[in-house]
A and B are shown apart, each in its own frame.
Chain A
Amino acid sequence: MGLTKRFGDVVAVDDVSLTLAEGETVALLGPSGCGKSTLLRLVAGLERPDSGRLRLAGADVTDVPPQRRDVGMVFQSFALFPHLDVAGNVAFGLVEAGMPAAQRAERVGHLLELVGLAGLGARRVDRLSGGQQQRVALARALAPDPALLLLDEPLSNLDEQLRQALKGELARLLGALGKRALYVTHDQSEAFALADRVALMRAGRIVQLGPSEELLERPVDGWAARFLGHENVFEAAPRSVLPTGAEGLEALFRADLAALLPADEEHSAGGHAHTAEAVVIEALREGLGWRLVLDVPKWGVQVVWRGFDREVRAALGLAVPPGAPRPGASLVLSAPPDAWRLLDGQRPAAQDRAARSEGDDPK
């Protein structure tokens, strides 16, 4: 029986089971409204589940209020206390734990050093930059040395550049701490950069759980494939490509594995099993490369292909600048056998069983 939480008629978290291994970071990834934040709040004790149990460090904590749960949380808005300075914020949980003042000051200093804010203890929190506030929030959550760290979209309130910088830093820190952590995000690149395993959530359920490579290589269904950034997901595979028996299954075309060749080279495509003539429908510049929409009559579909100038120019016989692909141009798309795959992935239940056996500390 997994964890379930309803709000009125809406099932926000629907029969979810998840176990974290020692020192593991799991990302809860999904679109807004998928229940990932509610799941995090259930774990924190800020919401009570309608059914299911939570276990932490061997003890059932389902009925334990948040203040006695030994869980640290970094909020999306940081939720720093505006009436306390940086040190006061970090020390908040230590005061509640009854730590003596001298020891407290030492611990606060240690944590501020850890997050790169040494010497800023007396600063007012509203005088900090967004990145600094984020670090204070992290230090505050870590101060009481919780058994589990929860992070609710901790980077979403920061600008793009800062997010990139902090992403790497946070990944190193989580690795170094060796603490169990649950990380909520809607940004797949954050999830893949930070987490040992990613739990892809949709409509209150975990639809796929595994290391990032596994999710990217074998998305469980069309929705998962699209959410993870695959652009060529089809209701059904072209008959000419896949064996019979694949009817009714969604299919994914990995355009990143395919190559563009000049139109007259169809027969010299060599080792690639799937070659097909294609016509450029639309060409949009994307930074140093192109995003091409190609019509492939042989497969009866249109596919999106992205690549650099060099490849496009070679396939279309274009001059070095200012040559650009034009709609109507013909070429050949050459794909290896595994570029087309059926989305008949494992069902979530099977993954749960796999996951449960991994952790020694069910929760």
Chain B
Amino acid sequence: MAHVAGGAAALYLAAFLLVPLGVILARGLAPEGVPVGAPIWETLTNRYYLGRIGFTLGQALLSTVLTVALGLPTALLFARYRFRGKRALTAAFTIPFVMPTVVAGIGFLALAGPRGVLGVDLRNSLAIVLAAHVFYNFAVVARLVASFLERVAPQLEEAAATLGAGRWRTLLRVTLPLALPATLAAAVLTFIFCFTSFGVILILAPAARFATLEIEIYNLTARLLQLDAAAVLVLVQLVLVLGAASVYTRLQARLAVQVAPGTAERPPTAGSRIILGADLLLAGGLVLAPLAALLVQAFTSPGGAFPSLVNFGNLLNVRPTLSFAGLWPALGNSLTFASLSTAVALLVGFAFAYAVARGGWRILDQASLLPLATSPITLAFGYLLTFPMLVTTFWGIPLAHALLAFPFVARTLLPALRAMPKQQLEAAALLGAGPVRTLWRVELPLLRSALLTAAAFAFAISMGEFGATLLLVRPEFATLPVAIYDRLGRPGAVNYGQALALAAILMLLTALVMLILQRRGRSEF
């Protein structure tokens, strides 16, 4: 039965990931059916494209450095010190991680955009892009490193103390070296996210000089219809991101450490309390300010009255246009696509995890990070080239969303399935249950919380997905993020207000899903 599951998962990944990637590859290397070097050569020697590649790399590296600079100290402080409000802050720091890119973008716009509460217009500046990237990835670094450090036995640091190393020497010679693989792994993840940044930059810095490869590919595909050049850029991006992803998997293998028998948490000393306070102020401000600004502005009328529900009222009274039919159709589309893609992602994700954990399908295990390295635009571009017919139907978007959610679902279910004691399955077999009955009566009930976590992940990812949707969408299928982008692209305070109200609704829906996530288990990320 594991092999049926493995076959199904492999077939799905082949059809909806490998074939589209193969088609892009063929298109980039052999546009006319015969291999020619000309399009690659032309694209890669084009000063403009080289500039885009350089900018994409540069901003991603800079964002990563800044994110680690803020995330690493926070992780160290959170892993080692006990203080009031820590649980609430941990939850707060997770908010950006699950927030849709569009919400993050609008949040910073509400803070420091042309109509922002701070009164400084930072739109189309590198600063606001970097700030949004740090906001978005800070929690990835802080959580990944902190959860690693929490598992490092506190005896290691105590041993250093008995060997003559004071607090700073211990940090330098024991804690930081131990945290290095986890930090690098988190940095690589951050780099990948920032390298393929799309929605945040499209909203905060739409000027051409800030276009990442992802945006360039979108423009070439959706606006300029230069599919050959787009395919070459996809290949460039894929090579760079896959390289980073393979570094990530290699680092992840090194994260097995001594497990702490007790907790290493202690109350902060006077000196570290100052550092802790400064860090929390900075991180808390960065995380909460944009979201607070978004909420404040969503409840501010176009005329400036606060609090007011005018923006939300305007949503209900729009004259339907081709691209925006109002709140209810957008909300309905979002919920429908999210439900469908969650169902698909769960089915495939479970088949995958089952095949790897029970059937020993190691090839699948290694393939599960491939979708993580495939950017939404790349995927949607592949679907456009491979299944032009599918894309005109309703199914294009949920299938793309399901694939983007797949690695998260798979990485949540796999450890849960692996952690299940073998004896319980053997006991079920001896009591007369075959594999299917065992699955139904033992494994699925035991996996309930992992399945719920995975479902929440998939749902949140689909609700917030922007890039692939934008490329695949037809007007009548516009989701909340697409509707927000549409409103934002129109002039005037009323449209801006509607964008804010929509973003506030999306943010609250995502927060709701996150609450479920917080209360249930954890994933491997």
Binding site for B on A (CB under 8 A): 44-46, 65-69, 71-73, 75-77, 79, 81-83, 92-93, 95-97, 140-141, 143-144, 150
Contacts and interface: CB of A to CB of B under 8 A. Distances in A.
B153 interface: yes
Contacts of B166: 65, 67
Contacts of A141: 162-163
Q: Which of A46, A65, A69 counts the most B-chain CB atoms under 10 A from its CB?
A: A46
B164 A77 contact: no
A77 B161 contact: no
A67 B165 CA distance: 5
A66 B177 contact: no
A66 B161 contact: yes
Closest 7 pairs between A and B when the two form their complex, measured CB to CB: A93-B163, A96-B164, A79-B155, A66-B161, A79-B159, A73-B162, A83-B177
Given A68-B164, A77-B155, A79-B159, 18 more contacts: A44-B162, A65-B166, A66-B162, A67-B161, A67-B169, A73-B159, A79-B158, A81-B160, A81-B174, A81-B177, A81-B178, A82-B178, A82-B257, A92-B160, A92-B163, A93-B163, A96-B164, A150-B162
Contacts of B261: 77
Contacts of A73: 158-159, 162
Contacts of A76: 155
Nearest to B177: A83
B80 to A, nearest CB: 14
Interface of B: 153, 155-156, 158-166, 169, 173-174, 177-178, 180, 257-258, 261
Nearest to A96: B164
A82 B256 CA distance: 10
Nearest to A82: B257
Contacts of A72: 162-163
A81 B163 CA distance: 12
Nearest to B163: A93
Contacts of B162: 44-46, 66-67, 69, 71-73, 141, 150
A79 B153 contact: yes
A66 B158 contact: yes
Contacts of B180: 83
Nearest to A152: B155
A77 B258 contact: yes
Contact of A82 (B158, B160, B165, B258): B258
Contacts of B158: 44, 46, 66, 73, 75, 79
B357 to A, nearest CB: 25
Nearest to A76: B155
A150 B156 CA distance: 16
Contacts of B174: 81, 83
Contact of A67 (B153, B164, B257): B164
A93 B161 CA distance: 9
Contact of A97 (B153, B164, B178): B164
B258 A96 contact: no
A83 B173 CA distance: 10
Nearest to A71: B162
A143 B162 CA distance: 12
B163 A140 contact: yes
A95 B173 CA distance: 10
A65 B161 contact: yes
6 contacts: A72-B162, A75-B155, A75-B159, A79-B153, A96-B165, A144-B163
Nearest to B257: A82
B76 to A, nearest CB: 16
B163 to A, nearest CB: 3
A96 B159 contact: no
A270 B257 CA distance: 67
Contacts of A143: 163
Contacts of B258: 77, 79, 82
Contacts of A93: 163-164
A69 B174 CA distance: 19
B169 A96 contact: yes
Contacts of A92: 160, 163, 165, 173
A82 to B, nearest CB: 6
B150 to A, nearest CB: 16
Contacts of A77: 153, 155, 258, 261
Q: Which of B161, B166, B177 counts the most A-chain CB atoms under 10 A from its CB?
A: B161
A83 B172 CA distance: 12
A65 B163 CA distance: 11
Contacts of A82: 178, 257-258
B257 A45 contact: no
Nearest to A83: B177
Contacts of A71: 162
A68 B165 CA distance: 8
Contacts of B161: 45-46, 65-67
Contacts of B160: 67, 81, 92
A215 B257 CA distance: 41
Contacts of B169: 67, 96
Nearest to B162: A73
A118 B389 CA distance: 71
Contacts of B156: 79, 81
Contacts of A144: 163-164
B163 A96 contact: yes
A72 B180 CA distance: 27
Nearest to B156: A79
Q: Which of B177, B180, B258, B261 counts the most A-chain CB atoms under 10 A from its CB?
A: B258
Contacts of A45: 161-162
Contact of B178 (A65, A66, A68, A83): A83
A116 B251 CA distance: 34
A66 B159 CA distance: 9
A223 B295 CA distance: 67
Contacts of A95: 173
A79 B165 CA distance: 15
A46 B158 CA distance: 7
A150 to B, nearest CB: 8
A93 B159 CA distance: 10
A211 to B, nearest CB: 28
A211 B87 CA distance: 51
A270 B261 CA distance: 59
Contacts of A81: 156, 159-160, 174, 177-178
A156 B166 CA distance: 29
B13 to A, nearest CB: 34
A79 B156 CA distance: 5
Nearest to A95: B173
B358 to A, nearest CB: 29
B368 to A, nearest CB: 27
A127 to B, nearest CB: 14
A96 B153 CA distance: 21
A203 B101 CA distance: 57
A35 B169 CA distance: 30
B400 to A, nearest CB: 42
A95 B166 CA distance: 12
A73 B156 CA distance: 12
A193 to B, nearest CB: 25
Contacts of B177: 81, 83
Q: Which of A81, A93, A95, A144 counts the most B-chain CB atoms under 10 A from its CB?
A: A81
Nearest to A84: B177
A6 to B, nearest CB: 16
Nearest to A146: B162
A67 B164 CA distance: 4
A103 to B, nearest CB: 16
A68 B258 CA distance: 26
Nearest to A150: B162
A73 B258 CA distance: 18
Contacts of A79: 153, 155-156, 158-159, 258
Contacts of A75: 155, 158-159
Q: Which of A68, A73, A150 counts the most B-chain CB atoms under 10 A from its CB?
A: A73
